[in-house]
Amino acid sequence: MYEPLDPIRREVRLLQLIGGSDDGPIQCSLRTVSLDETDLEFATLSYVWGDESITRDVLVEGHPRAVTANLESALRNFWRYFTENGVSISIRCDLVSSIVDEPNGVTGLRRYLSSEDCDLHHESDADEGTDSEDERGADGTSNKPSVKDRLFVRRIIAAGHRARVGGGYLPIWVDALCINQGDPAEKNKQIHMMQEIFTKAGCVFSWLGPSGHNNLDLALSAIRKLAVRVRDGYSISQLNQDYPELCAMHSDLPPFNKYWQAISNFAEAEYFERSWIFQELWAAADSDETIFLCGDEHLPMGSLTRYRAWADSLLTQRSDDTPLFGRFIPIFPLITQIYGMKAGRENAVGATRLFLDIVRRSRCKNPRDKVFALFRIFRMGLTPDYTMPVADVYAAWASDSSQDLPLGSLIFYSGIGLYPRTLGTHNLASWQPDFERLGDQTSWCDAVYAYRHSDAGTPAKYKPTISPTRYLTCFGVQVTKVGKVASQAGKKIVDYTNVTRGMIMDYALNSTSMILLLKYLVDNKGRFWTHAYHERGSPLHALVETVNECTHGGDPPTLGLLGDTLREFTPYNLFMKALTVRDGPSNFTVDELKFLGFQSEEKLWECLAGMSSNPKDDDGFNPATEPSEGQENALLGFVSRLLNFSFNKNLFHTVDGRVGGGPPGTETHDLVYLIHGCSLPVLLREVEGKLRHVGVCYIPGLSGVDVFRILKESESDVRELSLV
């Protein structure tokens, strides 16, 4: 069925639908063409493969071919759309073509087709909206086609493309069928051409699933109607006037009604999580004929981007008097990133940071596709090769000239102490980010710290390098080592074997891990609650700073946490706030109380209240007074971060008495190094005479700008390190 393709002619195969039936398979044929043909006209299909264990047969050149159920539903949708609408759609397209250049021709046709007695009427013709004021002259006449006219023409053309695919008049490129998936050499060559395939396509269809799937068809319809009116400056009050149904509050919690629920489902759809989607939409972003499909509904990309620009503009308009639902309007971050890259804005913050952000959020079947799906967009000097070991693909990315992240910052995204760590699966070096698991292992905080301090001041002789044998050579100085792991992150014991869609936070386990931290605080009350516990530099202040930094990122939220505010961080108050933020009963369970060392809840509160009843301090502050709103917010914020910390980080003490937070795999005797090019301390472990990277950690006084100061002061002690 698959004849060899000629790479010199840059040949590709296109799929042509030739028939079908309600109770039989869809029938297709394959046509080989060259991308260099001047009159070549075709469409492409962008979709999620779905569960590969659930398949349906299609007939390709008369031979049954098993494809995923999601792909079969897309092909069947094209065929059914043609059989039900092909004739009327063809006439509508001819009418548009005949009058599109006539003055007010589209407006007249739009009114005719939207009338109920018109045989060619389609419900989308009646989408509400009037022409935008900014597109009319001072005398009220139209200087150019109105928004409504332009969107109307796009809908007609989109429907025409859809019907032509279903009738076999417009061939379509579908990766699963147009690439011989059993030929790695052909797959390598075709993937190298994918960006051009999507760029040259006259139309890109983005298939979201059959009608009713997560109400995505309702989302497409709602956004299509909104796109007619929304523009920069379009307010929530105007929205309420034009579309009161969108502003109805059917729930006290976001997204408040079925329309915003559907749009939220769309913004968070599995479709946008697929690694290849970014390249496919990026290549087709400049086309007005990129069309989202769900069942019978459709949405041109132009309408989505118009909505997206408006939703994004609301971020700067929102204020305290903005209606609650107006603060939760989905903004489609992936679409925002794509258009930001197209405009050159995203590159300002670093291409590699954006690459890692996409990798962290995306999924794919083959771990190599974490790199191959993006190599053309980020101008990597790589050639897709599915015979390469995964570790070699990731190493090639790390050493590629397009990679603008300082090599010292790579270790923010890697380490054998991260969980889940698939040791042995790909034979990754300890310093290599595991792109397959990156979304489970790292958070936005890691990215913030990786970029907070540049290594521009690192002497050339101390800049990290990668060897052909996958060693990371760096330079640093040992400052201390882990003396005791005080609490174990709950994340370490989560079973990830059945996790299929990113990280699933186990809140019950999160609550349990927080109990472990609370027990640690009770057991060490004499260490943390001394007479000067509220002062900067105290053990309690160091603990609060560690928890805040490990879970907050950005500017340290601890800077203003001094004096009176920190006085409210008593054991009693911490336990009270813990009950409000943890996911569980309103009181501690019997087992939890026993674990904490108390026979009853009364004994617990009696003990904690006694620890909090310090005498009046010399500065006249009475700890028994009612805390201010600012103190309450600071305490609640800390306890919320403590819950997060207890799940994701180990609390440890160093041999010289410092407190720190590290990855779930932190162990006693791990070495603490400061390394040139990295703004946080690095945990290293000696295994069989070789150094392995465990992960970055946070230790007050040894982090951020202190790293560079200490390295400069300790230049004579800097040694060369080879991480395996």
The kind and range of the H/E element at 536 are none
Q: Which residue has the higher pLDDT, 688 or 339?
A: 688
How high is the mean pLDDT of the chain?
84
- Would residue 507 count as lying in a domain? yes
pLDDT value, residue 138: 42
626-655 as b/e: b if 16+ CB within 10 A = ebeeebeebbebbbbbbbbbbbbbbbbbbe
Mean pLDDT of 207-217: 93
Residue holding tokens 């994340």? Answer: 491
Do 678 and 577 reside in the same domain of the chain?
A: no
pLDDT value, residue 631: 83
**Cβ–Cβ under 8 Å, residues 292 and 272:** no
Do 453 and 328 reside in the same domain of the chain?
A: no
- Would residue 481 count as lying in a domain? yes
pLDDT value, residue 500: 40
Among 342, 377, 403, residue at a domain's last position: 342
Among 317, 342, 367, residue at a domain's last position: 342
- The CA–CA distances, whole Å, from 580 to 585, 608, 636, 700, 720 equal 9, 17, 9, 28, 49
**Cβ–Cβ under 8 Å, residues 80 and 197:** no
Give the three-class secondary structure for 695.
Answer: strand
- For residue 654, the cross-strand partners are 482
Do 367 and 452 reside in the same domain of the chain?
A: yes
- For residue 682, the cross-strand partners are 673, 696
- Would residue 581 count as lying in a domain? yes
- Would residue 655 count as lying in a domain? no
Q: Which domain holds residue 442?
A: 350-485+668-723
Mean pLDDT of 305-323: 76
Do 321 and 409 reside in the same domain of the chain?
A: no
Position 474 pLDDT exceeds 70: yes
Q: Which residue has the higher pLDDT, 246 or 128?
A: 246
pLDDT value, residue 335: 85
Alpha-carbon gap, residue 93 to 184, rounded angstroms: 42
Do 154 and 212 reside in the same domain of the chain?
A: yes
Mean pLDDT of 681-709: 94
- % of the chain with per-residue pLDDT over 90: 40
∠ at Cα 668 (666, 673), nearest 5°?
A: 70
Do 372 and 279 reside in the same domain of the chain?
A: no
Do 356 and 455 reside in the same domain of the chain?
A: yes
Do 167 and 290 reside in the same domain of the chain?
A: yes
Please tell me the least confidently modeled range out of 147-151, 398-402, 437-441.
Answer: 147-151
pLDDT value, residue 19: 92
- Would residue 103 count as lying in a domain? yes
381-417 as b/e: b if 16+ CB within 10 A = ebebbeebebbebbbbbbebeebebbbbbbbbbbbbb
Mean pLDDT of 448-466: 76
Position 275 pLDDT exceeds 80: yes
Do 168 and 93 reside in the same domain of the chain?
A: yes
pLDDT band at 700 (very low <50, low <70, confident <90, very high): very high
- Would residue 56 count as lying in a domain? no
Do 515 and 453 reside in the same domain of the chain?
A: no
Among 588, 614, 645, residue at a domain's last position: 645
Please tell me the least confidently modeled range out of 79-83, 205-209, 233-237.
Answer: 233-237
Position 127 pLDDT exceeds 60: no
pLDDT value, residue 291: 93
Do 673 and 631 reside in the same domain of the chain?
A: no
Do 188 and 266 reside in the same domain of the chain?
A: yes
Mean pLDDT of 382-397: 92
Alpha-carbon gap, residue 419 to 69, rounded angstroms: 33
Mean pLDDT of 46-62: 92
Please tell me the least confidently modeled range out of 33-42, 175-184, 599-608.
Answer: 599-608
Straight-line distance from the first to the last Cα atom of the chain, in angstroms, rounded to the nearest whole number: 46
pLDDT value, residue 557: 62
- Would residue 380 count as lying in a domain? yes
pLDDT band at 581 (very low <50, low <70, confident <90, very high): confident
- Would residue 592 count as lying in a domain? yes
Alpha-carbon gap, residue 429 to 439, rounded angstroms: 18
475-523 residue pLDDT tens: 999 999 999 999 988 887 665 554 443 344 444 556 778 888 999 988 8
* Domains contained in the chain, number: 3
Residue 690 gets which letter from DSSP? Answer: E
Q: Which residue has the higher pLDDT, 42 or 1?
A: 42
Q: Which among 42, 343, 48, 6 is positioned nearest to 197, based on CA atoms?
A: 42
pLDDT value, residue 443: 77
pLDDT value, residue 430: 94
Mean pLDDT of 309-314: 85
522-535 residue pLDDT tens: 888 888 988 888 88
Alpha-carbon gap, residue 253 to 257, rounded angstroms: 9
